[in-house]
Structure 1
Amino acid sequence: MELKKITCIVCPNGCKLTIIEKNEELLVEGNKCKRGIEFGINEIKNPLRSIASTVNTIYKEMPRLPVRTDGLIPKSKIFNVMREISKVVITNHVDINEVIIENVLNTGVNIISTSSLIEILKEEYPNGG
């Protein structure tokens, strides 16, 4: 029985995958590499995604700070994680890759900064402001 048709995103090929359930086993068709099999099965059993977003800051020079997950989270938790991200307001100088939210929603994944407020503020106020 055909379960789902998806486009594989693990490599540039963009294979059109068909996931089939046969004798209680998942089979993947249409893949050009082994990674497509794993991707297809994971998309059925436990789809995971990364998130990139921004958080508010108190600094007019950079009112929004870009952030991302440092790992993959269950697709079903994306909206809840985004809700947590939207609650954050940065009030201190943070550097690139600094943890903004640790272990967001007990996923084992952190939300980290992808830009440096320290560098932006140094450029804006080279003599300390």
Structure 2
Amino acid sequence: MSTNVTETLQFNCTTCPSECLLTVKVERSADGAVVEVHSVTGNSCPRGYKFAHQELTCPMRVFTTTVAVSSGDEALLPVRTAEAIPLALHAQAMDLIRGLTVDAPIRMGDVVLKNLLDTNINLIASMDIDPA
């Protein structure tokens, strides 16, 4: 006898400005893990289908924060990952970056930290900072 539960979820796709309202039927095991995505409706393009599957199995987000700057005209540098990383890694990334300091000058797009948490995705600067 199966203890899996099928439920219907609704959430917006965020892959484009249309923000389609997706209706997703998903089967979960007793521990809440996704066993299978049965259907995705409401998407007006194939990206919505892919987004729904990814959001339920391994949600991804671009990680954004700030790092300290040494000898710069600003005290903090906004940074972000060059691509989305698993949401489950965000707290670990924050722990790693918390003690990081960069030296001015730095330009938008410069790599601040290569291969963040072995994801093959770099942490990059989101603005220019000149020397003080």
Write the deviation string for residues 7-59 of structure 1: whole angstroms up to 9, x where unpaired.
11111122221221379453111212221111111111221110122111123
Post-superposition Cα deviations, 1:53-97, rounded to whole Å, max 9, x if no partner, equal 211112362101111101110011111112222221113422221
SS of 1:97's partner is coil
Answer yes or no: is the 8 Å Cα contact 2:13–2:22 preserved in 1: yes
Structure 2 counterpart of 1:19, one-letter code: V
Instruction: Output the CA distance in 2 between the equivalents of 1:24 and 1:41.
Output: 9
The match for 1:12 among 11, 14, 17 is 17
State whether residues 19 and 41 of structure 1, in contact with CA within 8 Å, keep that contact through their aligned partners in structure 2.
no
Given that 1:26 and 1:41 are in contact with CA atoms closer than 8 Å, whether structure 2 keeps it comes out as no
Deviates more, 1:74-83 or 1:18-27: 18-27
- What does residue 78 of structure 2 align with? 66
Q: Distance in 2 between matches of 1:45 and 1:82?
A: 22
Name the one with the larger helix percent: 1
Structure 1 residue ranges without an equivalent (≥5): 125-129
Task: Report the 3-state secondary structure (helix = DSSP H, G, I; strand = E; otherwise coil) of the residue aligned with 1:90.
Answer: strand
Paired residues of 2:70 and 2:101 also in contact (CA < 8 A): yes
Q: What are structure 2's unaligned runs of at least 5 residues?
A: 1-5, 28-34
5 Å matches for 1:50-89? Answer: 50-59=62-71, 61-89=73-101
| Runs of 4+ off more than 6 Å | none
Residue 40 in structure 1 maps to residue 45 in structure 2: no
| Structure 1 stretch displaced more, 104-113 or 20-29 | 20-29
Amino acid aligned to 2:116: V
Cα deviation for residue 5 of structure 1 reads: 2.2
For residue 35 of structure 1, give the secondary structure of its aligned residue in structure 2: helix
How large is the Cα RMSD of the aligned pairs?
A: 2.1
Aligned-pair identity in percent equals 29
| TM-score, length-scaled by structure 2 | 0.79
